[in-house]
Structure 1
Amino acid sequence: MKWNKGFKYLYIYLVILLSLLSNYAFSQNDTLILNNEDRIVGEIKNMIKGVLTVKTPYSDKDFKIEWLNTKLLKSDRNFLVVLSNGKRIKSAKILPGKNQEQLLIKEKDKEIIATVKEIVFIESIDDHFLSRFTVSLSVGYNFTKSNNLSQFTIRSNVNYTSDDIGFTGAFNSVLSSQDNVGYTRRTDANAGFRYYIKNKKFIILSSDFLSNEDQLLNLRATIGSGLGKYLILNNKEYLTGGLGLAWNNEKFRDTLQTNNNSLETFASFELNLFKHKNISLLTKLTTYLSVTEWKRVRADFNMDLKYELPLDLFIKLGFTNNFDNEPISGAVKNDFIFQTVFGWEFK
């Protein structure tokens, strides 16, 4: 009897505990009302590139909703919010505004009224560190029987965003083999760091690496720093520009094994278009004008055209071009590659 009585009290305790937990979980739910009056209750993870991601307990997959199709958002949690004027609002709560087109963003004692169109980016700051990363990996393979040309290609990207900083990285490589030619390899990689300041401006730290047999480069390492600014910023596209100084170190594979160091100025532009639901276009152009080598000009151009498939899969067309108006003897001035790859993205 005593055991039965003890189990009875334990059962009551568990029921009460589960009720409290369920009420707490329910209180953490966010509510999203769409333009067609549909209502979604769940956990808002983020809004990137004009697409809102919502996790719900009644679906195995996250909902992805175009941000401009939303009318109202209700949440008790804190978010990082980026507006089209460049303002970054930390630990903000998003509440309904005075009318259906407005949202009230509260940051401590400050209140900001913004429309849906003015909000560029939303990230739940309650999420753990890894949730702020976006990683994509894609591969491709081509084979031509007539000359036994075999080509294997890798194209990858990583992005991280927090309250005041942003990080991007990329690694691309092409390995080819052909009768009477042997193996050829071309590899480029880059890493970029941004520290966001006021008025759409940010501090740039960048590093670029290139190994290219056609340009007789064992390794080119370019380390730069400067100041950038958003020229266009909204939830469908952005355009940035930047200026700065860079130190360029080159190790060539010519007969003399030449090493070269130079100081350069650089100007960069980056355009990201995501106006369509499944298609995005990212392009970046960086031009280097040498300070220590008079009249030498280099330029790097990258483009990624991506079509998103279900299950976070995608098809991507990549283009990379490297130009040097004064290459080392025996090297080409211009070298470029096209890559068609199939990949997967982890968010």
Structure 2
Amino acid sequence: MFFTLTKRKLTLFGILLFLLSSWSSSLSAQTDKLYLRNGTILNGTLRSINLGKINFDANDIGIVDVKITNARTLFATSFQYRVSTVHQDVMYGSILPGKDSGSIIFASGKDSVNVLLDDIVTLSKYRKGIMHQIEGNISAGYSFTKSSELGRINLDASLNTRSKNVALAFTGATITSIQGDSLARDLENASLQVSYYYLPDWYLLTYVNYQRNLSLGIGQRFQEALGTGYEFLKRSRMLASVGTGGILNQEKSLEGDRNYTFEIPLLLQYDLFLFSSPNLSFSFKQQLYFGISQKGRIREDGETRLSYEVISDLTISLVFYNNYDNQPPAGSVRNFDYNMVVNVGYKF
């Protein structure tokens, strides 16, 4: 009896070991591989490709960024991926090694397509549900001038997520001055934009925006916009888009006056990856507004950012904000304002 029970236990233990071994082998088989041109093979998980960089989580090394021209090919089946190319193609599937150096085979269902790595604009993990795709950045900075005893705190953050046809983007920034016991909220911006891609490069957009700018006399401004956009330049290291539509504004000046206006915007955005070592990226965003209900009024809001990635996911950024209004509200001290700040940020 004892021998029979022991034999059964050993049999069950053997089955358990076999299942664990099979499960472990299955996990190993799903490990992604990054093949470099110098012959090195990295095992781990492919995270993304963006602006000429392959972001790869390598086993025993950590997250690395590899210039796309240094990669020979890829194997990635840990996730389903979304890829967009310079040829305006958007595909969903897994990645197999390409036939030639500098290419991959993108497998989607029964179809497979050979894609040059240098033709990829963006590649990201794709999982059903927009909340599974969140990426973002948060950064902060501080400066102090001894002669005036003036300190300035600047914060900014961004969150981006995308499903098959819908993209969601949140951005926020604030600059606060501290002098003695007084505190002044000099600049505040917060925006939430939803874009629906009805074609690979064309999208409908809607967004809500909040602004505050003491120099231009804006106590608060709320904006609601509806329009369309077009990604007119797509390269492996750069992306540019333009948009327009209609905007409703509700303004309150520092003196308490309220104003309701309608404007036609021209929205421009340009992103560029400069080098892999040092790892630099550049973004330029300008928004022009032409007054319809308030004749002759022209406004401009802009942001220019140069970022250096010190180590993986840790950046130092030089940010320049510019604002212009040829008919600013009562209480403004000028019609043009600019701020330049240095931030230390973390990408997630």
Q: Between Structure 1 and Structure 2, which shows a larger proportion of strand residues? A: 2
Which residue is equivalent to 1:290? 291
Q: In structure 1, what is the Cα distance between the partners aligned to 2:76 and 2:241?
A: 32
Measure how far apart 1:35 and its partner are: 1.3
Q: Deviations over 1:126-159 (max 9, x none)?
A: 5986652222221112222322212221122222
For structure 1, which segment, 131-140 or 219-228, has the greater mean C-alpha deviation from structure 2 after superposition? 131-140
Which residue is equivalent to 2:271? 272
- Residue identity opposite 1:345 in structure 2: K
Measure how far apart 1:287 and its partner are: 0.4
Of 13, 16, 27, 1:14 maps to 16
Q: Matches of residues 95-134 of structure 1 in structure 2 within 5 Å?
A: 95-126=96-127, 132-134=133-135
- Residue identity opposite 1:14 in structure 2: L
CA 1:36–1:131 in 2, change beyond 3 Å: closer, same or farther? farther
Which residue is equivalent to 2:35? 33
Which residue is equivalent to 2:341? 339
Measure how far apart 1:215 and its partner are: 2.1
Measure how far apart 1:238 and its partner are: 0.9
Q: Deviations over 1:81-127 (max 9, x none)?
A: 1111232112x232344433443323334443321111112222259
Q: In structure 1, what is the Cα distance between the partners aligned to 2:64 and 2:346?
A: 18
CA 1:146–1:102 in 2, change beyond 3 Å: closer, same or farther? closer
Secondary structure of the corresponding residue to residue 59 of structure 1: coil
TM-score computed with the length of structure 1 as normaliser: 0.90
Measure how far apart 1:29 and its partner are: 1.9
Q: In structure 2, what is the Cα distance between the partners aligned to 1:323 and 1:202?
A: 28
Over the residues paired in the alignment, what is the CA RMSD in angstroms? 2.2
CA 1:12–1:199 in 2, change beyond 3 Å: closer, same or farther? closer
Q: Matches of residues 157-236 of structure 1 in structure 2 within 5 Å?
A: 157-178=158-179, 182-185=182-185, 186-236=187-237
In the alignment, is the contact (CA less than 8 A) between 1:95 and 1:104 conserved in 2? Answer: yes
Secondary structure of the corresponding residue to residue 94 of structure 2: strand
Structure 2 gap ranges (5+): none
Measure how far apart 1:65 and its partner are: 1.8
In the alignment, is the contact (CA less than 8 A) between 1:237 and 1:275 conserved in 2? Answer: no
Q: In structure 2, what is the Cα distance between the partners aligned to 1:291 and 1:323?
A: 17
Q: In structure 1, what is the Cα distance between the partners aligned to 2:157 and 2:200?
A: 31
Q: In structure 1, what is the Cα distance between the partners aligned to 2:99 and 2:140?
A: 49
Structure 1 gap ranges (5+): none
Q: Deviations over 1:277-324 (max 9, x none)?
A: 211111100100011111111111111211111252211111111111
TM-score computed with the length of structure 2 as normaliser: 0.90
- Residue identity opposite 2:323 in structure 1: N
Q: In structure 2, what is the Cα distance between the partners aligned to 1:243 and 1:85?
A: 24
In the alignment, is the contact (CA less than 8 A) between 1:153 and 1:173 conserved in 2? Answer: yes
- Residue identity opposite 1:260 in structure 2: N
Q: In structure 2, what is the Cα distance between the partners aligned to 1:124 and 1:152?
A: 35
Which residue is equivalent to 2:321? 320
Q: In structure 2, what is the Cα distance between the partners aligned to 1:251 and 1:151?
A: 25
Q: In structure 1, what is the Cα distance between the partners aligned to 2:55 and 2:131?
A: 16
For structure 1, which segment, 292-301 or 133-142, has the greater mean C-alpha deviation from structure 2 after superposition? 133-142
CA 1:228–1:127 in 2, change beyond 3 Å: closer, same or farther? closer
CA 1:244–1:328 in 2, change beyond 3 Å: closer, same or farther? same
In the alignment, is the contact (CA less than 8 A) between 1:87 and 1:198 conserved in 2? Answer: no
Secondary structure of the corresponding residue to residue 178 of structure 2: strand
- Residue identity opposite 1:30 in structure 2: D
Which residue is equivalent to 2:150? 149
Q: In structure 2, what is the Cα distance between the partners aligned to 1:69 and 1:83?
A: 19
